[in-house]
Structure 1
Amino acid sequence: MDEFLAFLHAAITWFGEAFAWTMAALGVLIGMVGAFAASFVESGPPVYNGYVEANYVYVAATNPGRLRDIAADEGQTVTQGQTLFSLDDDQYRAALSAAVAQQKAAEASWRNLETGSRSEETDVIKASLKQAEANLELARTTLDRTLKLKQSGLVPDSRVDSAQAQFDTTSATLAQLQAQLAVAELPARPEQLEAAKANYEAAAANVELAQVQLDDRTVDSPVGGVVDRVYYKAGEVVGTGSPVLSILPPGELKVEFFLPETERNRFRIGDILDVTCDSCADELTATISYLASDPQHTPPIIYSRDERKRLVFMAEARIDESVSLLPGQPVTMKVPE
């Protein structure tokens, strides 16, 4: 019995040692395979994961109002200068009409001061002037006759004095009317003309402003591209600066990705990277257009010396061919071999 137990113990010991050696050998083999695989992966070019982002153009009205009409749909291709939408403009049309009326009134006042009194006013003065000239001629004739009669002793001195007074009065009246006509035909003083001209120019500027504000109620596309989103419907009120729609111009797609701290200095603005993704076209490339100078951490960590490898730098690359890519699509970047 003791010999059987001894044999059994020896057998168990041998199998245990054999199993241990087998597991050790298997571990070594797995380690070698892992090291080989790791060396194979590390020998290839590094890859960087990122997402496609878009530089949208957001189109808004300069002043608030009710949206009257939208002339573009999502997914529609538009050209620069094409009408996109319009807002109610009744108030702005009324403001333009009022500004035009004020401009005309200011211009009439300015021109009137430039030319002096109206022709009707000067005509009245001229008629009075002719009558005064006739009266003066009659007074001169009467005075001459009276003086001759005085020399003959046929009239007293009082008649001569009366004729002389009539002549002097008529002469003064004529001189007054001549001066009045001269003043009526003169333009206004320089200060008055400058003030009237300034009022006219201000009124003209108000007309231009009212016209611009009216034109702004119809909004044209600032760029060509594809309408990505329409944020309002006809009849809704749009606030100041609120975009009504967004446009994606051609060539405005980019890839945002992150570079490890140890690889940041390998890259420069203008470097070209290969872009790959599911269903991407072959030989798709992107040109680096931005490299961050300040690092940031990958998902929140407590910074320490051992965590420096988790520091990354954001980078952006312009996509050279953007036909098959969509905003938000994940892509992989790598240095061309």
Structure 2
Amino acid sequence: MSAKSQHNNILLAVLGFVSVVVLVAVIGYFTIDRTKEVIQGEVEVSEYRVACKLPGRITDIKVKEGDFVHKGDIVATLAIPEASAQEKVAEATAGATDALSALAEAPTRHETVESAYQLYQQAIAANGIAEKTYGRMQRLYEEGVMTAQKRDEAMAAYEATKAGVEAAKAQWELARNGARQETKEAAKKQAQAARSAIDVVRSILKETVQRATADGEVETIYPKVGELVGLGSPIMSISMVNDIWGTFNVREDQLKNMKVGTLLKVFIPALDKDIEMRVTSLKDQGSYAVWKATKTNGQYDLKTFQVKARPAGKVDGLKPGMSLILK
């Protein structure tokens, strides 16, 4: 074979190799999937828990999981025997203090006043007799026919009846005027305190009827009828379906066109439909969610941000936990 022929064969081989490489590159360019990176999120919803302030026993559960409840609807009832007993004690105490207050406010009975007045008059009469007796004893003592001891005994009796008059007068005035104003005020305050205690117990008893505090869907019911629940233990959780949003974890290099207010096109696989969602917040997820560079040169770490977005309009059938696909 000539040198020229050999050269042509080598040239053809090189051209053939280059053609194959180019053909493979062209085929790869048009066949390799070049779709944009997919960001997957999840539907979330606000929820609250129904709980009792006091320990009690579940007597009835009015709803079941999946039911929609409105604000104020009764969802469960409990029995709290201790609170019921305290209510009876508080009512009895209030009744007694009310009676004492009424007694302090009421005027003294006429018979009591009259009796005290008669005792006062008797004391005055006794004092008059003792005074006259002492006068006679004094004159006889001055005349020398009466001993000093007898005179002193008469004087002591006279002083005693004078003190008796003052005491009887005080009793009569007390009966006539009734209880002191301070006593009446104290009785009134005690009655008010007792009635306030009843209000406190009754407010506690309201906890035996648990109501929904907002519209929502019953998500989970924890205890069964007849079970005891502790202080503040949740009875059920209710999802507020009117307060729904989506959450996405996005690398910071993908935030170029995202900011609060941006409208996103999102696909919901469960509903097989596209919806629009508006970004409401962007939050750094912290150092634990950093995308680490795989090479020491030419790459850098990327932080992850939590992006929250709410549906631009009402979406029927949208439930918590559904996937959201952001392309």
**TM-score normalised over the length of structure 2:** 0.73
The partner residue of 1:290 within 246, 264, 281 is: 281
SS in 1 for 2:174: helix
Q: Deviations over 1:150-200 (max 9, x none)?
A: xxxxxxxxxxxxxxxxxx99998777544322213332353x455444433
- Cα gap change, 1:266 to 1:28, in 2 (>3 Å): closer
Residue 274 (1) aligns with residue 265 (2):
yes
The partner residue of 1:25 within 4, 15, 22 is: 22
Contact 1:260 1:309 in 2 (8 A): no
The partner residue of 1:206 within 192, 197, 203 is: 197
Which residue pairs with 1:55 in the alignment? 46
Contact 1:261 1:309 in 2 (8 A): no
Inter-partner Cα distance in structure 1 for 2:84 and 2:265: 56
User: Residue 23 of structure 1 aligns to which amino acid in structure 2?
Assistant: V
Which residue pairs with 1:129 in the alignment? 117
The alignment covers a number of residue pairs equal to: 304
Aligned-pair Cα RMSD in Å: 4.4
Inter-partner Cα distance in structure 2 for 1:222 and 1:112: 46
Deviation at 1:239, TM superposition (A): 2.0
Inter-partner Cα distance in structure 1 for 2:290 and 2:253: 18
Contact 2:116 2:172 in 1 (8 A): no
Contact 1:276 1:284 in 2 (8 A): yes
Residue 259 (1) aligns with residue 250 (2):
yes
> Which runs of no fewer than 5 residues in structure 1 stay unpaired?
141-167
Identity of aligned residues (%): 22
- Cα gap change, 1:193 to 1:281, in 2 (>3 Å): farther
Deviation at 1:282, TM superposition (A): 4.9
Inter-partner Cα distance in structure 2 for 1:79 and 1:236: 25
Q: Deviations over 1:115-146 (max 9, x none)?
A: 47x52xx6234135247659979x99xxxxxx
- Cα gap change, 1:24 to 1:306, in 2 (>3 Å): closer
Matches within 5 A, 1:1-337: 17=14, 20-30=17-27, 32-33=29-30, 38=34, 41=35, 48-115=39-106, 118-119=108-109, 123-130=111-118, 176-184=167-175, 185-188=177-180, 190=182, 192-264=183-255, 266-280=257-271, 282=273, 284-293=275-284, 298=289, 301=292, 308=300, 310-319=302-311, 320-333=313-326
SS in 2 for 1:103: helix
Which residue pairs with 1:164 in the alignment? none
Contact 2:246 2:309 in 1 (8 A): yes
- Cα gap change, 1:300 to 1:200, in 2 (>3 Å): farther
Deviates most, 15-24 or 223-232: 15-24
Inter-partner Cα distance in structure 2 for 1:64 and 1:305: 62
SS in 1 for 2:54: coil
Which residue pairs with 1:150 in the alignment? none
Inter-partner Cα distance in structure 2 for 1:199 and 1:265: 71
Inter-partner Cα distance in structure 2 for 1:129 and 1:97: 43
Deviates most, 237-246 or 193-202: 193-202
Contact 2:47 2:237 in 1 (8 A): yes
- Cα gap change, 1:132 to 1:87, in 2 (>3 Å): closer
> Which runs of no fewer than 5 residues in structure 2 stay unpaired?
129-158
Which residue pairs with 2:143 in the alignment? none
SS in 2 for 1:292: strand
Deviation at 1:296, TM superposition (A): 5.1
Contact 1:295 1:311 in 2 (8 A): yes
Contact 1:81 1:220 in 2 (8 A): yes
Inter-partner Cα distance in structure 1 for 2:286 and 2:40: 17
SS in 2 for 1:252: strand
- Cα gap change, 1:95 to 1:302, in 2 (>3 Å): farther
Deviation at 1:230, TM superposition (A): 1.1
- Cα gap change, 1:232 to 1:294, in 2 (>3 Å): closer
Contact 1:114 1:193 in 2 (8 A): yes
User: Residue 329 of structure 1 aligns to which amino acid in structure 2?
Assistant: M
- Cα gap change, 1:180 to 1:307, in 2 (>3 Å): farther
**TM-score normalised over the length of structure 1:** 0.71
Q: Deviations over 1:53-77 (max 9, x none)?
A: 1212211111122211111111111
